[in-house]
Amino acid sequence: MTASIKSVNYHHQLSGRDFLTLADYTTDEINYLLELASYLKKQHKSGKSEQPLKGKTLGMIFEKSSTRTRVSFEVGIYQLGGTGLFLSSDDIQIGRGEPISDTAKVLSSYLDGIMIRTYSQAVVEELAANASIPVINGLTDMYHPCQVLADMQTILEEKGTLKGVNVAYIGDGNNMAHSLMMGSAKMGMNISIAAPKGYQPDPAITERSRSFAQGNKIVVTEDPAEAAKNADVIYTDVWASMGQETEQEKRVKAFKEYQVNNELLGYAKKDVTFMHCLPAHRGEEVAADVIDGKHSVVFQQAENRLHAQKALMTALMG
């Protein structure tokens, strides 16, 4: 049989589904998305890309600025044969107080899918509850599931498997930490998160993530060396995310012992992979010789945002 999107092993009907958190997807469904992402990446590299979303339109609502999310979704929908519409909150009525439910119903009559990058998870959930088309969470202060889908694709490429991989996340217990915990729990990875007191992941999300685990471990500690011990992957993120700029000085002091540098890499396995969702602040959360060194896959990881999200759009909007 000639290889095509339809030939990718698929036992789950994802068409029309929302993608709000990884908690809503089974291990098999996530495996399917990763398999489809790998297939689409190979097709892209070979110049033989299919266009399963020809004639379809994705609305992209941005309340937060973006490089990777905007470009990867806009290019991705174009490569799949569709059109992406950039909708800044400053340019549409949602930014002037129109109820989210009204916006959801209006956009559902025009579009085939919505991606939203915003602050509040509640906004994304209200949008999805009132839309009759798929809604994709492009980032909130609580979760970043699209990034973690691309991260898992990258780990698969580097390690050949997800099951049993030891991930160490060093830094702020933010949206990245939350989604990495959920992804790890669902896919059989062990994850240790090192963050100072007062900056650790939301306890409710930690416990929810543990409820998905099947023998794999989720550990939260204040000790970066403990988290990094025997790690296959070391991951970090900026210490002050968008909206936290006024806390920069306070956070630099709180996280000063949490920089990922060569000393910390020494606790991990010799073939450890370094990951960062970008943008990065060299000299703060990561030393320049680590992010620019032989262990780093940050640009492979960034590229995979394109392929993972093309898989997501194909599955949900196709």
Q: Is 109 annotated as a binding residue?
A: no
Backbone angles phi, psi at 162, to 5 degrees: -105, -35
Average pLDDT over residues 179-183: 98
d(CA 177, CA 112): 30
Is residue 1 very low, low, confident or very high in pLDDT (cuts 50, 70, 90)? very low
- What is the crossing angle of helices 298-317 and 145-159, to 10°? 120
pLDDT above 70 coverage of the chain, percent: 96
Q: What is the pLDDT of residue 94?
A: 84
146-301 has CATH 3.40.50.1370 classification: yes
Domain 10-144+305-317 in CATH: superfamily?
A: Aspartate/ornithine carbamoyltransferase (3.40.50.1370)
Same fold, 10-144+305-317 and 146-301: yes
pLDDT tier, 3 (very low <50, low <70, confident <90, very high otherwise): low
Mean pLDDT of the chain: 95
Answer whether residue 140 shows pLDDT above 50: yes
Was 83 annotated as part of a binding site? no
Q: Is 146 annotated as a binding residue?
A: yes
User: What is the rounded distance in angstroms from the CA atom of residue 149 to the CA atom of residue 67?
Assistant: 17
Please state the domain extents for the chain: 10-144+305-317, 146-301
User: Known catalytic residues?
Assistant: 117, 144, 147, 237, 277, 305
Burial of 299 per CB tally in 10 Å (0-12, 13-18, 19+):
exposed
Using CA atoms, how far residue 289 sits from 129, 153, 261, 262, 296, in Å, is 45, 24, 8, 8, 9
What is the CA 13 to chain-centroid distance, rounded? 22
| 69 marked ligand binding residue | yes
Kind of pairing, strands 166-170 and 113-117?
unpaired
For the segment 213-234, the average pLDDT, to the nearest whole number, is: 98
Residue closest to 259 by CA, chosen among 311, 307, 196: 196
Q: What is the pLDDT of residue 76?
A: 98
pLDDT tens for each residue of 31-58: 999 999 999 999 999 998 889 999 999 9
Give backbone dihedrals phi and psi of 117, rounded to 5 degrees, phi first.
Answer: -120, 110
184 is in an annotated binding site: no
**Per-residue pLDDT reduced to its tens digit, 262-276:** 999 999 999 999 999
Q: Is 260 helix (H, G, I), strand (E, B) or coil?
A: strand
CA distances from 173 to 25, 148, 170, 248 (A): 22, 15, 9, 15
- On the question of pLDDT at 148 being above 50, the answer is yes
Tell whether 277 is in a known binding site. Answer: yes
Whether 11 has a pLDDT exceeding 70, the answer reads no
Q: Is the pLDDT of residue 10 over 80?
A: no
51 annotated as belonging to a binding site for a ligand: no
